[in-house]
Structure 1
Amino acid sequence: MSSHLVFQLYCTPVEADAVRSALVSEVATFAEFGDARIEFAQEAEADYEMHLSWAAQHPGEDPADRGYFLLQVQSATDIPESVLREVESALWEWIDSTYHGDSDEVVEVHVASHAGTKFVD
């Protein structure tokens, strides 16, 4: 079995790097991630939906400095679902407290995530 934790981000490169650093710190607190590797890359912009959404929430601001980023934690070993969910939840909370403040209306860092385990052939 192998385990993974994936975050898709739409934000500035500085924000994406800060999220990456927070994830590295969170993963380091769990021995289960001992053999895990963390991959971080800016993705090609094939879909402009997030640009439109962000621009609508930030009238008059140019979304040109924003991009799509993929942040993945991959482990060749099985990590318990509860640990994967704990790390996933902790990073969501960190993003919310760092970038979203008290407002549910304005989202600075758009994020989606997925965690899971699969059988390795």
Structure 2
Amino acid sequence: MSTTPDRPDQAIRPPREPKETLVGAGPGPTAPPPAHDHRARVDLPEWMRNPTPPRRTPGRLASELLDRLPVLGTARRSLWRWRDRTPDAQSRPVVAVVVFLATTALTIALVGWFFYWLYLSLNDMA
């Protein structure tokens, strides 16, 4: 690399030195290992660094039972898939609105029919 610029607006720069790479990262020069022990940026309390093991609650025992039996584990995963699905109201909003309106109309008709039947029944008694 020459130290004279090719164009007048370019500044003269010294040649670049090769970048250091990590030890064992491949061909090329290797970087020395760090001179100090690494310390975490945040000092965590002891209970967060070494948490106590989970307690043996009835829920955990049932969960372990489900994990031990393949049939129950399959049923559990299918239940999770069903629970995490996208509801039809979100994937098909127009259909959801039509079903809502049809259900509302049917409910109003049934309530109206009930009151009409009640009206006829009470008039027959009089």
Pick the TM interval, shorter chain: under 0.3
Structure scoring higher RCO (CA < 8 A, sep ≥ 6) equals 1
Give the structure with the higher percent strand.
1
Structure whose CA Rg is larger: 2
Give the structure-1-normalised TM-score: 0.16
